Every structure is written in structure tokens, then in C-alpha cells.
Amino acid sequence: MSLLKATSFIRTSKCILSRTLSSTQQANVDPSRTPEQKLMKKWGTDNVRIAEKLETGEVKPFNKIPGPRSFSFLGTKPLFWKIVGKYDRDQHMDTYFKFYKEFGQIVREDVHPKHSLVHIYNPADMQTMFIYEGTYPQRYSHMVLEKYRLEKPQVYASGGILPSNGPAWYALRKKFQKSLQDYKEVEKYVERVEQITEEFLDARIQPGIIEDCSQEVARLFMELTSLVAFDERFYAFSEAEMRPDSRSSRLMESASIINCCIMKTNQNHILWRVLPQLSRAWRELVVAHAYVEEVALEQIAKKIAYMKEIDAKNPENRTHTSILESYLRLKDTDIREITGMIVDLLLGGSDTITSSTSYMLHNLSKHPEVQDKIYEESVRLQPDGKLPHDVAQKATYTNQVIRESLRINPVAIGIGRVLPVDVVMSGYHIPKFTHIVSQNQVACQLPQYFEDPLAFKPERWEKRRFFRNEGRNEEQLLSEKCLSIPFSHGSRVCVAKKIAELDMIVLLLKLCRRYKMEWKGAPKVGMRTVLVHQPDTPIRIKFTERK
């Protein structure tokens, strides 16, 4: 940066300093509150300090961040063209690993001349990202959902929790997260999750080879989502529901189509906004979304009628047996907000958990010693054959297995954010509103952070044994907590994390109690990205009954 530019940067920075500080205060990040936030003092966000450091060379300018070549008008597009391109947009892991190897721990990708993405691989930078995301963590994804919903004001009050940002997102999150994030609330479901999981194992898992376990577990999770969301049985794994035109089959298919359309529209910003009827992704999304919405509206109408009936019998009744009922019992809530939230739960809860569990079954079936340990935990936790209500906290080993599998095979490459303030990452100035992507999956496979990073070793998650501790100070250890965050981190963490963990814990405990698993599929399980990473080959496993 020339001296002139730097001086004018300092001048403008001084003018906006008060604004920056007030936005920091508004973001509720008082530097003296927690050890993590104390680090803010050290890195500093105020533009004057950054500008001064830019001038002295202590901080390097944004345009010096290394990255792949970008062409005028086309940006980095040619690098991703089939056959001639050097990278593959659909192979996230390979591409972002190559970026790391070629350019280092921070990479600037000028996707087109006016839009840069900054990929970060260093845990300290990831921590900076989460510290400075503020009260309203911003992410630019799922925008197509917002367009669809805002065009239907009779059904939706806003774009919904998945695409919204700012105060609109905050209001939804504050109102609707309690029934999903409170341990006591989640414990209510343990008995029914257990019963449905047992039913699923009776119906769908028999000794012998199962050609694709992904297809099977998708149905279990559909059933568990309808249980938790509506307290309604869809019988998703019954023979009748296996038909492609059944409600559960259509719901699962619609959610997958929507995810696919979200990914396509995230990548191509223009057509679906300007001429939606010419965009195939938009047209497909409209049809699929309308179906998910139809199911949500049907369930809401049913629940309202049911509540009227039970409230008439017992006017004091304030309990609820499902998320939907808890939402309907909230005061001052627009029914259209509830509709949006229910649709987002149906969308958010389908491919994510299915894919995570599919990889988990693959990892387990290759590690009989891990299965044996889960079996032992299962026996210990169910002396009378029933799981305790606080199984999610007590199943420590099974929890480690889940963490380890999600470290190696998370559903997303990382987390995207747009920060409201300027920051410094890896010594470079990152102006506010830059699109940042934390490359957690790649970082989790680097030997400087995880010993033997490609090995599946749940034991590494035992207390403080998960990272390479030697020679690391408190500050480094703290930031490394941001490395493996499959459900994200901070206030925008997956809203259904606890429910998803409970569902997976119960399945693993029950499955390993009954069966031994052996991998019978392809030698290598890769991934294809359809918004979330999915195995690129069937999860083929042989099940043998335990004696």
C-alpha cells in the first residue's frame, strides 16, 4: 500500500473508529469478559491500529494475500473448468487442500474481480473469526430460500433462520432455540428415540449384508425428526413408506433437491435472481419447497386442533410433547414464523445427520475394537436394557467416537462468515465485509494439529489429549478448540446439535449392542458435495449378531 493510501486509510479509519467501537460494543464483545475475548486486546480491531501497523509493515495489506490466479471478468472460473481446470469445484476437500499446499495458511481467491473469498487454515485465525462475528454472525448462503419465502408473505413472515442475517436472524434464534438447546428439553425425547431406534433395528437391520446403510439410516432420521418436531409417526421405515410416492420418500427427496438447488444458486448468483424462470435450480426448488411446506402446514393445522382439544379438557396444561407444540405455546408468535422454522428444521435435519452417520458406520465397520468399546459402554449404561434419561452426557466413549468421525468426515468443509469489523489474520489486513471461509476439514487433517491425523482414533478426544499439546501455550490450545467444529461454533452453532447428537448416540449404542459390523464396500469412500458432503459410494456393511 502506498504511503498516500495508508495515510488516507488512517484518516478514514479515525472517522469510523467511533462507529467501529460502537459496533464492537453492540456486538457484545467486551475484551475483558472471557480469556478468549482478552485475546482481542492483543490482536486489536480498531482501524487506526491496523492502519498504523500497515504503515510500519507489521500488518501486510489485503492485496498481498497469496492465492490462485484470477482472470479479468472471469475471476477464478477458468481454474475450475472441466478437463482444462486445475481444481474441481465439486471436490471441496481436494481443492482446498491444494490451495493450502500451494499458498499456505491464508489464501485469497478472487472468485470474480469484485468478490474475494479468504480461506483460513490457522486455528488462531478461526478463533479471530468467531470472536469478531459479533451478536449477528453473518453467513451468505441459502439466499434462494429467502427469495422463495419473501414472495409468499401469506405463508412466511421472513426468509427463515437458515438464510436470514442481522436482527431478523437474531429474533428467530432467540425465540425458537430454547426447546432445541436445553438439555432438560432434549432429555424428554430419550425414551421415544430409544423405542423408535429399537423398532428400526428390528425392521431394517438383519444379519447379513446391507447394500447401502445410508438409505436405511435416512429413514430412521426422518422418523426421529417427525417424532421430535411433531410427536407424529410417519412410519418412514415401514414397507408401505418405502414406495417413492409415500410422504416420507417425497419429503426426503424434496429436502435433497432443495439442498442441491441451494448449492447451485449459491455458486451462480445472477440468473435465479434476475430471470428466475430461466433458472432450472429455481424451478426445481419451487416444486420441492412447496411439498415440504405442504407437510409443515398440514402438521401445524393438526397440532392446533389437537391442542384445542386437550386444552379444553385441561386448561392448566402447559406441557408439550414436540417442538411444534412448544412453538405454538409461545406468546406473541406469528404462525408464519413457526411455519418457516418448521420447514427449516425439516431441511436442516435430513441430509446432514444421514451423511454424518453414514461415514460413522463406515469408520466403525473398519474398527472392530472401537465397536467393542461402544458395546461395553452400552452394557454398562443399560443394566436393565433401558437407556438412562441423561445418556447423552453419560455415553462418554460413544461421544468421542462421534467427535472423531465428524473430525475426519464433517458435513461441511468449514464455516463461512462476513465480519462487521476489520481484523488481522495471519498478519494480513482483512477489511470488514470480506467473505471468509474457515477451512476446518483440511486443518483437521494436518499433522501439526492432530497426531496421525488420518487415523480414526476416538481416544484422542479424552480430556486434553486431542491436540498435539507439546510445546503449545495456553493461547494456542484455546484457539485450537476452533479446529474441529462440525456443528459450528458461537451463537450460530447448529440449532439442533443436541438432538442430532442424541439420535446418533442412541443408534450407535443400540447397534453395537446387537451387532458386529464389517466393511464390505469399496476400498475408498470419497465424497461428493451436494451442499453437504455425502459418501460417493454405497455404505455396504455386513452385520453379524453378537453372541
Q: Which three cell numbers stand for residue 167?
A: 436482527
Q: Which is nearer to ligand HEM, 147 or 468 (CB)?
A: 147
Contacts of 369 (CB under 8 A, 6+ apart): none
Q: Which is nearer to ligand HEM, 410 or 521 (CB)?
A: 410
Q: Which is nearer to ligand HEM, 9 or 136 (CB)?
A: 136
Q: Are 347 and 354 in contact (CB under 8 A)?
A: no
Q: Is position 508 an interface residue for ligand HEM (rule: CB under 6 A)?
A: no
Smallest distance from the beta carbon of 323 to ligand HEM, in angstroms?
Answer: 8
Closest CA to 6 of 52, 63, 65, 59: 52
Q: Is position 234 an interface residue for ligand HEM (rule: CB under 6 A)?
A: no
CA torsion angle 336 150 176 321 (round to 10): 40
Smallest distance from the beta carbon of 492 to ligand HEM, in angstroms?
Answer: 4
Smallest distance from the beta carbon of 297 to ligand HEM, in angstroms?
Answer: 18
Q: Binders of ligand HEM among 414-473, rule CB under 6 A?
A: 415
Residue choice 123, 134, 348, 521 for contact with ligand HEM (CB under 6 A): 348
Q: Are 126 and 438 in contact (CB under 8 A)?
A: yes
Nearest 5°: CA angle at 218, between 215 and 260?
A: 90
Residue choice 157, 361, 413, 495 for contact with ligand HEM (CB under 6 A): 495
Q: Is position 505 an interface residue for ligand HEM (rule: CB under 6 A)?
A: no
Smallest distance from the beta carbon of 35 to ligand HEM, in angstroms?
Answer: 22
Smallest distance from the beta carbon of 1 to ligand HEM, in angstroms?
Answer: 32
* Dihedral sign from CA coordinates of 52, 55, 59, 64: positive
Q: Is position 344 an interface residue for ligand HEM (rule: CB under 6 A)?
A: yes
Q: Which is nearer to ligand HEM, 109 or 344 (CB)?
A: 344
Q: Which stretch binds ligand HEM (CB under 6 A): 24-32, 431-439, 445-453, 488-496?
A: 488-496
3-state DSSP call for residue 111? strand
Backbone phi, then psi, for 149, in 5-degree steps?
A: -75, -35
494 marked among binding-site residues: yes
Q: Is position 408 an interface residue for ligand HEM (rule: CB under 6 A)?
A: no
Q: Which three cell numbers stand for residue 318?
A: 402447559
Residue choice 173, 303, 320, 367 for contact with ligand HEM (CB under 6 A): 173
Q: Which three cell numbers stand for residue 39?
A: 485475546
Q: Which is nearer to ligand HEM, 333 or 382 (CB)?
A: 333
Largest CA distance in the chain: 78
Task: Compute and round to an integer the Cα radius of gyration of the chain.
Answer: 24
Contacts of 446 (CB under 8 A, 6+ apart): 100, 121, 453
Q: Which is nearer to ligand HEM, 50 or 186 (CB)?
A: 186
Q: Is position 106 an interface residue for ligand HEM (rule: CB under 6 A)?
A: no
Residue choice 220, 345, 482, 525 for contact with ligand HEM (CB under 6 A): 345
Residue choice 387, 500, 530, 531 for contact with ligand HEM (CB under 6 A): 500
Q: Which stretch binds ligand HEM (CB under 6 A): 51-59, 329-337, 424-432, 496-504?
A: 496-504
Q: Which is nearer to ligand HEM, 65 or 504 (CB)?
A: 504
How far the first Cα of the chain sits from its last, in Å, is 71
What number of residues does the chain have? 547
Q: Which is nearer to ligand HEM, 99 or 487 (CB)?
A: 487
Closest CA to 480 of 497, 495, 500, 460: 460
Q: Is position 480 an interface residue for ligand HEM (rule: CB under 6 A)?
A: no
Following DSSP, what letter does each residue of 379-437 receive, concatenated?
A: HHH-TTSS--TTHHHH-HHHHHHHHHHHHHS-SSS-EEEE-SS-EEETTEEE-TT-EEE
* Dihedral sign from CA coordinates of 318, 322, 328, 334: positive
Q: Which is nearer to ligand HEM, 75 or 486 (CB)?
A: 486
Q: Which is nearer to ligand HEM, 75 or 349 (CB)?
A: 349
Q: Is position 340 an interface residue for ligand HEM (rule: CB under 6 A)?
A: no
Q: Are 288 and 258 in contact (CB under 8 A)?
A: yes
Spatial distance between the Cα atoms of 75 and 68, rounded to a whole number of angstroms: 10
DSSP 60: B
Q: Is position 494 an interface residue for ligand HEM (rule: CB under 6 A)?
A: yes
Q: Is position 496 an interface residue for ligand HEM (rule: CB under 6 A)?
A: yes
| Residues 125-164, mask of contacts with ligand HEM (x by CB under 6 A) | --------------x---------------------xx--
Contacts of 441 (CB under 8 A, 6+ apart): 92, 93, 96, 410, 412, 413, 414
Q: Which is nearer to ligand HEM, 162 or 506 (CB)?
A: 162
Size of the site for ligand HEM (CB under 6 A): 24
Q: Is position 411 an interface residue for ligand HEM (rule: CB under 6 A)?
A: yes
Q: At what angle do helices 190-204 and 213-230 cross, to 10 degrees?
A: 150
Q: Is position 219 an interface residue for ligand HEM (rule: CB under 6 A)?
A: no
Residue choice 322, 352, 378, 438 for contact with ligand HEM (CB under 6 A): 352
Q: Which is nearer to ligand HEM, 264 or 489 (CB)?
A: 489
Smallest distance from the beta carbon of 136 to ligand HEM, in angstroms?
Answer: 10
Smallest distance from the beta carbon of 519 to ligand HEM, in angstroms?
Answer: 21
Spatial distance between the Cα atoms of 246 and 234, rounded to a whole number of angstroms: 10
Q: Which three cell numbers stand for residue 425?
A: 489474520
Instruction: Point out which residues bind ligand HEM (CB under 6 A).
Output: 139, 161-162, 173, 225, 344-345, 348-349, 352-353, 356, 411-412, 415, 486-488, 492, 494-496, 499-500
Q: Which residues are annotated as a binding site for heme?
A: 494
Q: Which residues are annotated as a binding site?
A: 494
